[in-house]
Structure 1
Amino acid sequence: MTSTVASPALSVPPAAPAEAAAFFAARLAHQADVSDVRVSLESGDPGFVLVDSRGSAGWRQGRVPGAVHLPTADIPTRAGSLLDPRVPVITYCWGPGCDGATRAALALAGLGYRVKEMIGGIEYWIREGFPVESSAGTAQRDADPLTAPIGSVSCAC
């Protein structure tokens, strides 16, 4: 028997291929994932500056090694003294439930910086088992098997 109930997942039909391609290309132009950021940072010449846009409490709690601390609220007054406008910036904040990195990226773009957002934020950085730096030193947790393959640098996707 054939079901007459439409698929909830397709209640809004997929976009035309050209429209979908433009959308996904735009997402990749605006976002980078934590694995790609890590591999780039480890290369020694990532080609960007990583900006932690969280407040001081979050920064002290732990941050991506090598990140620059520039809270979103300070971007208008401090970006010019911390960032070279010729170098792309990647922002991050707490995680997918926080839009701080998005707001920071918007503020930097408004000042003329080329900018991307690190999707997943510090949460997924930590969940993927990458190192976190604080005044106590550098620590690293095991990767969460629900977010990253165990024993691999990337998901190979």
Structure 2
Amino acid sequence: MTLHATLPETDAWELFWAIKQGKPVKVVDGRSPEAFAREHIPGALNLPLVASGADAATADAGCVVQTTSLSSLSPDVLYVCCDDGIDGDVAERTACRLQAAGLKVQILVGGIDWWRRDGYSTEGENAQTGTRVGCGCGRRG
């Protein structure tokens, strides 16, 4: 489902290298706190979409991004929005909300599923080992 035709996309390899090179990029995972706790991309920020009940000014088809966290996000960072990779709906909704707040966004094609399939590590209760995402400083640790 495409919610916003102008949202740029990136893939796992491009995201991995941007993080490794220390570029100003942050992964934003729009899944539930429970799904995020099970497994997520290292260093990701969890801004879950929540069920309706928020005020109408911030509602987006019955879902919103928790706005309490938006004020702390920097306009100088590229926010790569992800979800489980099944249909991209959560990532798109998250990206639309961040973009509406004036932030730079991209969608991670395939979400955490393709991230994992491409061999990159995850964190959480069901963490997967793979290619480690480092800080980009050249040190091993």
Normalising by the residue count of structure 2, what TM-score does the alignment of the two structures yield? 0.71
**What is the deviation of 1:66?**
1.2
Q: Number of paired residues?
A: 113
Larger radius of gyration: 1
Report the AA paired with residue 31 of structure 1.
Answer: E
1:40 lines up with 2:31 in the alignment: no
Residues 7-156 of structure 1 correspond to what in structure 2 (within 5 A)?
30-43=8-21, 45-73=22-50, 74-81=65-72, 83-135=73-125, 138-140=127-129
* Bigger relative CO (Cα 8 Å, ≥ 6 apart): 2
- Of stretches 102-111 and 70-79 in structure 1, the one that deviates more from structure 2 is 70-79
Kept in 2, the 8 Å contact 1:96–1:119? The answer is no
**What is the deviation of 1:87?**
1.6
Greater helix fraction, Structure 1 or Structure 2: 1
Kept in 2, the 8 Å contact 1:49–1:68? The answer is yes
**What is the deviation of 1:60?**
0.9
Overall identity of the aligned pairs, in %? 27
Normalising by the residue count of structure 1, what TM-score does the alignment of the two structures yield? 0.64
- Which residue of 1 is the match for residue 59 of structure 2? none
Unpaired segments ≥5 residues, structure 1: 1-25, 143-157
Q: CA RMSD in A?
A: 2.2
Kept in 1, the 8 Å contact 2:24–2:76? The answer is no
**What is the deviation of 1:63?**
0.6
SS at match of 1:130: coil
Report the AA paired with residue 78 of structure 1.
Answer: S
Q: Which runs of 4+ in 1 moved over 6 A?
A: none
Kept in 2, the 8 Å contact 1:75–1:104? The answer is no
Report the AA paired with residue 10 of structure 2.
Answer: A
